[in-house]
Amino acid sequence: MEFKAIVVDIDGTITYSDRSIDCRAVEALRGVKVPVVLATGNVLCFARAASKLVGTGGLVIAENGGVIECGIVEFDKSHMKMCEEAFKALNRHFPLERLDPENRITEIGLRRNFDVEKARHILNEFSELDIVDTGFAVHIKSRSINKGTGLKRLAELMGISALDFVAIGDSPNDIEMLKASGFGVAVGNAHPDLKKTAKMVTTGEHGAGVAEAIQHISGKTAI
C-alpha cells in the first residue's frame, strides 16, 4: 500500500520523556517526501511552534483533535461549557491547576497532580466526557473529539483519506488516530494499550522509533 502522508504525535514520540526534541526524529521526518502532520494534546501555538522548528510546514492537530490547521484553522468549542462544569465539580475535590487557560479553547488541560482514577469516579455522571491522561497532562474533553476525528477532518481538507496516513504515537490519546490511519505505529516506549492497537511496534524508543518506522515503510513504498 502506498501512503500519502504521515501524522506523528509530539510529546513522547518525537521528544524524550522530558519533552525535549529528539533530533533523530527531526532528521528522519525531514527526509520524508510526503506531508508530515504533527498531532498533540497541547494548544495550537505550541503545535505551530513545533511545526516551525521541526520544519513540517504548519499542518497540525492540536488540543487532541479539537483544533486543526491546514492553511485555515478549524476548531469545535461546542463542548467547552460541559468541560467547565466538570472542572468546577472536580475542583471541589482537588486543587487543580489549568494548563494554558488563555490559549486552550476546546477542552481543559490540567497538571497531573491529582488522582485521575478518583476524578473519573467523581465525573461519572458526565457520560459524554472523557478524561485522558497522556502522561504529560490530564485532559477533560468531549468523547466525540479525539486525534482520530481531527485526522479525518484534516485529511479531508488535504483532499486525501485518513487511511492514506501512517500514524505514529506513544500514548492512549493516540489510539483513535492510529485506528483511523492506514498503518498505525507505536514507538518502543508506548503505553501497552497503544501497542495493542498498532500494526507495528518499533524496537527503538522516541525518535529512534520514528526513524525506524519511516525506514521500514520507505523500504516498501515511497514516502
- Chain contacts with a copy of itself (rule: CB under 8 A): 15, 18-21, 23, 26-27, 30, 43, 45-46, 48-50, 52-55, 100, 103
HSE at residue 2, side-chain half, CA atoms within 13 A, is 5
Q: Please, what is the minimum distance in Å from the beta carbon of residue 52 to a copy of itself?
A: 5
Q: From the CB of 30, what's the least distance to a copy of itself, in Å? A: 8
115 annotated active-site: no
Please identify, using beta-carbon distances, which residue of 57 and 196 lies nearer to a copy of itself.
57
CB of 51 to a copy of itself, least distance (A): 9
Residue (22 or 176) nearer to a copy of itself, CB = 22
Identify which of residues 24 and 120 has a Cβ nearer to a copy of itself in the complex: 24
Catalytic residue among 9, 11, 22, 76: 9
- Closer to a copy of itself by CB, 21 or 157: give it: 21
Query: Rounded to the nearest whole angstrom, what is the least distance from the CB of residue 41 to a copy of itself in the complex?
Result: 14
Residue 3 CB neighbour total at 10 angstroms:
22
Cα angle 120-125-129, degrees, rounded to a multiple of 5: 60
Give me 14's grid cell: 518525537
47 vs 175 by CB, closer to a copy of itself: 47
- Residue 114 φ/ψ, nearest 5 degrees: -145, 170
- Which residue numbers are catalytic? 9
